[in-house]
């Protein structure tokens, strides 16, 4: 009997240990997701070498030092480097844009996707007849290339267009543009264009720099490529408050900007991130209900700037 008791104790201890190891693995994976999501992994790594998701996937992989980084892999699709890039319309190219032009508009924008939650976000926007702009990163968070037919991303991006949303560039792999050589910078923009063109037959003229980081040098390069550089003037910091106990902080930021404001005199260019769970499944509907209640209109960035839709993209071929 004593031996059986000892054996049972060992089994229970082993089971508890296995559960603990499994929980540690889950916690580690969550930490990696949070690190990538908040875009702090790359600076934290310095110039250390390593293998695995944290080191070899965008944006953590240091593209200037790691030729095997997934961000250094050119996507399939037509080369866009020789596409004509006429500058049309009244919206400036190569200069920072922080706000909308039309009162009553709130340009909802989502960075870093598409991601696991994006389809549900599209369903929610459709429910409220709201339009948004998706600043798409071509390859990040271990999701593969956006134009990989084995992934759900091409269909999601096509749905964004068919639902009346705007798609824009958030670079290929979410790098800090001012830190890059011109050739690496070029890849960040051109690779994303290639992926877009492979999916849609055209690519955006609008972009947002990752980390909101640009410079006179990179602005000039973006001007050369014919891009509108768009930022924001309303940030709820949903990516910081991605916790059911913290997301009310983001709601308060939104309320302070929107609630009780006169749509005849106010307008906003807003930012969220669709890989952030609480943003998609909690904060967004709160914002949409507030928009309706306060008589604001959820629109794309192009719309809030008064830029005709035909100016938002460049055709290939």
- Please tell me the distance from the alpha carbon of residue 197 to that of residue 174, in angstroms, as a whole number: 19
My answer on whether omega of the bond before 114 falls inside 30° of 0, hence cis, is yes
Angle between helices 182-200 and 216-225 in degrees, nearest 10:
40
Q: Which residues are catalytic?
A: 111, 273
- Please tell me the distance from the alpha carbon of residue 303 to that of residue 107, in angstroms, as a whole number: 8
Q: What letter does residue 212 receive in the DSSP assignment?
A: G
- Please tell me the distance from the alpha carbon of residue 136 to that of residue 197, in angstroms, as a whole number: 13
Q: What CA–CA distances, in Å, run from 50 to 47, 67, 174, 238, 274?
A: 10, 13, 20, 31, 29
Distance of CA 232 to the CA centre of its chain: 14
Where b means 16+ CB within 10 Å and e means fewer, 38-51 reads ebebbeebeeeeee
- Please tell me the distance from the alpha carbon of residue 213 to that of residue 231, in angstroms, as a whole number: 10
Task: Output phi, psi for 104, to 5 deg.
Answer: 90, -10
Q: Where are the beta strands (DSSP E) in 112-216?
A: 133-136, 166-169, 202-204, 206-207
Task: Output phi, psi for 77, to 5 deg.
Answer: 140, 175
CB neighbours of residue 1 within 10 Å: 5
């Amino acid at each position: 009997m004593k031996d059986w008791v000892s054996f049972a104790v060992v089994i229970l201890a082993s089971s508890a240990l296995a559960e603990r190891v499994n929980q540690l693995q889950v916690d580690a994976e969550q930490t990696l997701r949070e690190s990538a999501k908040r875009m702090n992994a790359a600076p934290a790594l310095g110039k250390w070498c390593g293998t695995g998701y944290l080191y070899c996937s965008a944006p953590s992989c240091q593209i200037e030092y790691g030729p095997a980084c997934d961000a250094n892999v050119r996507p399939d699709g037509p080369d866009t480097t020789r596409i004509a890039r006429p500058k049309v319309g009244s919206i400036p190219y190569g200069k920072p844009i922080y706000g909308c032009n039309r009162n009553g508009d709130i340009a909802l924008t989502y960075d870093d996707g598409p991601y696991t939650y994006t389809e549900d976000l599209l369903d929610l926007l459709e429910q409220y007849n709201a339009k948004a702009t998706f600043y798409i990163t071509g390859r990040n968070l271990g999701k593969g290339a956006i134009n990989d037919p084995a992934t759900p991303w091409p269909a999601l991006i096509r749905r964004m267009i068919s639902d009346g949303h705007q798609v824009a560039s958030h670079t290929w792999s979410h790098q800090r543009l001012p830190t890059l050589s011109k050739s690496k910078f070029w890849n960040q923009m051109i690779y994303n264009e290639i992926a877009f063109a492979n999916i849609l037959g055209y690519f955006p003229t609008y972009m947002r720099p990752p980390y909101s980081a640009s410079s006179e040098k990179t602005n000039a390069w973006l001007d050369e490529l014919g891009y509108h550089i768009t930022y924001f003037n309303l940030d709820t910091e949903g990516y910081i408050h991605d916790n059911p106990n913290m997301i009310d902080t983001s709601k308060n930021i939104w309320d302070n900007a929107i609630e009780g404001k006169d749509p005849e005199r106010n307008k906003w260019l807003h930012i969220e991130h669709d890989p952030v769970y609480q943003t998609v499944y909690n904060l967004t509907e709160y914002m949409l209900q507030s928009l309706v209640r306060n008589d604001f209109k959820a629109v794309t960035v192009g719309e809030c700037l008064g830029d005709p839709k035909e100016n938002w993209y460049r055709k290939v071929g």
